[in-house]
Structure 1
Amino acid sequence: MPSIPSPISDPVAILRDLITAPSVTPDAGEAIARLARILEAAGFDCETVTFSAPGTSDVVNLYARIGQGAPHLTFGGHVDVVPPGDAAGWRHDPFSAAIEDGRLYGRGAVDMKGGIAAFVAAALDHLATRRPGAGTLSFLITGDEEGPSINGTVKLLRWAHDRGERFDAAIVGEPTNPQAVGDAIKVGRRGSLSGTVTVTGRQGHVAYPHLAENPIPGLIRLMGALLAEPLDAGNERFQPSNLEFVSVDVGNPAWNVIPGTARARFNIRFNDRWSRPTLDAWLRARLAAAAGDGLAWTLALETPSSDSFLTVDPRLVDGLGAAIETVTGHRPELSTGGGTSDARFIKDYCPVVEFGLVGQTMHQVDEHVPVADLVTLTAIYRVFLDGFFDGADRTA
């Protein structure tokens, strides 16, 4: 078994520096600045780029790059975090980065400043053993992953591509492990599509229903049609697709008024048997059959949506799996479960996988990471980096 290199850089110190820069989405500027200072001191060329869009907050993003030529590996991540909620409910101040009983507490410790800190530490140690010209290493860091994801990674990728950047592989440091570091690599994700079904009736007095047309029974019928049968049974790569209604609303505060419209919002998480066009067709066929001729209904699908994807690149998937086995002694599961991440944008530019910390406390009060997990993740990233750039001229 290959030897595990001894760490030099301290991921704990890097993580504490990032956590103590509160960066509740989309206000991530100080955390971006601190990360840029760390990388610039190590020789990275860093550029902060701010993107805007009507109706959204400006978002600061970071692109950092070192080296030249192929292969080019990029690390994707976000320093924005969800709000901590009531700070009084936390064991420690959510932005103090306190350490107690071997655990480092703070909002973003797991999701995902911890993953960034581990990769930075691993990258600095890796770079100390090779000449920067032997391949390219970069960071794509956003402050808009926990928010609407409009002014973040999707635009940063386009900006980098327009400047001539070409990536051969990417790792996103999201917390992918259910129980222990090394349990799972996310090699793909199901797609996501949201929509609204609206039924239009005629408003009236509840005492005179013959003068009105209640849209609620029709909406219930349409909802039942969409839930009557599963979309599919899944396959060897993906779990089954599922449609979930997330709200039903008529906008009616009165007790004596039959509403004029009723609407239901839903989200579909779908595997590679489906796409937006095929789901659109399936939804409309189901709804039309259930509605018949007498029901006035509409379907509106939200934009953007995301397609499913699966990464099979051996250098990336097998290389990371081998690094995990080297450090932990076991092979990880190759998973496509869970929600979406910025990997859905990166997959349009290069093969991408996700691998980070254990996700059990993300978004919770007292979010924390065991220091031992942070050290383990750093070691895995370091072994992977050494293997990915194997063949480069070594100086140590």
Structure 2
Amino acid sequence: GIKRIVADGYHLRTDGRPADGAIICEPEELELCLFQRGGIRVAVTFTGRQAHGAMPYAGLNPIPALARFILELRDLQGVLQTRLGEHPMLGHAWITPTVLSAGSLPQLNVMHADALVALDIRTVPGVSHDELHATLREILTRLEVEEGVSTRYEIIDDRPWTQTAPDSGIVRALEGATRVVLGREPRYGGVPGTTDGTFLHKAGVSIVTVGPGDREIPHQINEFVRVDELVTSARLYAAAGTVFLGTPLLETTTKEASITSEPERV
């Protein structure tokens, strides 16, 4: 995937510099997305001592400590949202517990030693991932002292938020292509999740995410894209690539003016 592409240097030009730009194809309702949220996935394990459910005093239940942690996450999320406000393209930062695990129903008479919570954290510009990790670890350290449990903090994935300069060549090329292919002024948006573009952006490549389809449909059982939107997007990508490489589009099917922007050259 994209991690291998970057690791092997396929995003680099022959002189070793990063490519000038990349179009990230995602369902974004043909809006030009210059921002995307960051994503952090974390698994936190609380460990106590196993015991029979009839004799909980013989062990140490990790679940109350986990429950306190979840409540503190809600408070931390509120602090982030109050401090940062609502980003105009991305909305709020979110800290969402998505998985809870502590034994299974056939073992409901066992107080298990381990309890796990997995978090899906979405960040916006202004959030320092390093500081957020440090804050979460500080909460866990305090809970270890207060509850007597031990904890393990595992970072499964960490992808920074991205922001592309509006005057970059790839943005200008897509703006011009939008006017020609779609016959209207560009509309702008933000990517609610993370994409392959995260890794290209981190590697120094300017990115814009744009593509056909409803942005709320991915990962649903009826995920789909309309054929006409797919064809339109293909035309948009081709037009943007042509302009980005230095060839203006002089004719349009919508009688719009030709593209006059001067994008960066590859």
Q: TM-score, normalised by structure 2?
A: 0.77
Corresponding residue of 2:12? 161
Q: 2:63 matched to 1:240?
A: no
Mapped partners of 2:225, 2:191: distance in 1: 22
| C-alpha distance 267-365 of structure 1, shift in aligned 2 (>3 A) | closer
DSSP 3-state at the match of 2:158: coil
Contact 2:137 2:153 in 1 (8 A): no
Contact 2:42 2:157 in 1 (8 A): no
1:172-191 to 2 correspondences below 5 Å: 172-177=24-29, 182=30, 184-191=31-38
Corresponding residue of 1:353? 208
DSSP 3-state at the match of 1:228: helix
User: CA offsets per residue over residues 290-332 of structure 1, 9 Å max, x none?
Assistant: 5553332324232541111100142222331232133323333
Mapped partners of 1:174, 1:320: distance in 2: 15
Percentage of matched positions with identical amino acids: 26
Mapped partners of 1:368, 1:247: distance in 2: 27
Mapped partners of 2:122, 2:219: distance in 1: 21
Q: 2:193 matched to 1:339?
A: yes
Mapped partners of 1:364, 1:221: distance in 2: 32
| C-alpha distance 269-160 of structure 1, shift in aligned 2 (>3 A) | closer
1:1-396 to 2 correspondences below 5 Å: 144=1, 150=3, 152-156=4-8, 158-159=9-10, 161=12, 164=15, 166=17, 167-177=19-29, 182=30, 184-229=31-76, 230=78, 231-232=80-81, 233-236=85-88, 238-252=90-104, 253-289=106-142, 292-314=145-167, 315-347=169-201, 348-359=203-214, 362=218, 368-390=224-246
- CA shift, 1:257, in A, is 1.5
Contact 2:177 2:240 in 1 (8 A): yes
Contact 2:48 2:150 in 1 (8 A): no
Mapped partners of 2:237, 2:114: distance in 1: 54
| C-alpha distance 362-296 of structure 1, shift in aligned 2 (>3 A) | closer
Contact 1:199 1:295 in 2 (8 A): no
Corresponding residue of 2:262? none
User: CA offsets per residue over residues 314-354 of structure 1, 9 Å max, x none?
Assistant: 22223312321333233333222321111011112321111
User: CA offsets per residue over residues 88-130 of structure 1, 9 Å max, x none?
Assistant: xxxxxxxxxxxxxxxxxxxxxxxxxxxxxxxxxxxxxxxxxxx
Mapped partners of 1:202, 1:364: distance in 2: 40
Tell me: higher relative CO, structure 1 or 2? Use CA pairs within 8 A at least 6 residues apart.
2
Gaps of 5+ in 1: 1-143
Amino acid at match of 2:102: V
Amino acid at match of 2:212: L
Mapped partners of 1:302, 1:187: distance in 2: 27
Q: How many residues align?
A: 239
| C-alpha distance 309-325 of structure 1, shift in aligned 2 (>3 A) | same
| C-alpha distance 344-293 of structure 1, shift in aligned 2 (>3 A) | same
| C-alpha distance 289-325 of structure 1, shift in aligned 2 (>3 A) | farther
DSSP 3-state at the match of 2:28: coil
Amino acid at match of 2:124: N
Amino acid at match of 1:390: G
Mapped partners of 1:254, 1:270: distance in 2: 37
Mapped partners of 1:332, 1:321: distance in 2: 6
Contact 2:37 2:162 in 1 (8 A): yes
Mapped partners of 1:352, 1:211: distance in 2: 57
| C-alpha distance 219-293 of structure 1, shift in aligned 2 (>3 A) | same
* Greater alpha carbon shift after TM alignment, 289-298 vs 233-242: 289-298
Contact 2:39 2:157 in 1 (8 A): no
Would you tell me which structure has more helix in proportion to its own residues?
2
| C-alpha distance 362-241 of structure 1, shift in aligned 2 (>3 A) | closer
Mapped partners of 2:75, 2:230: distance in 1: 45
Amino acid at match of 2:195: S
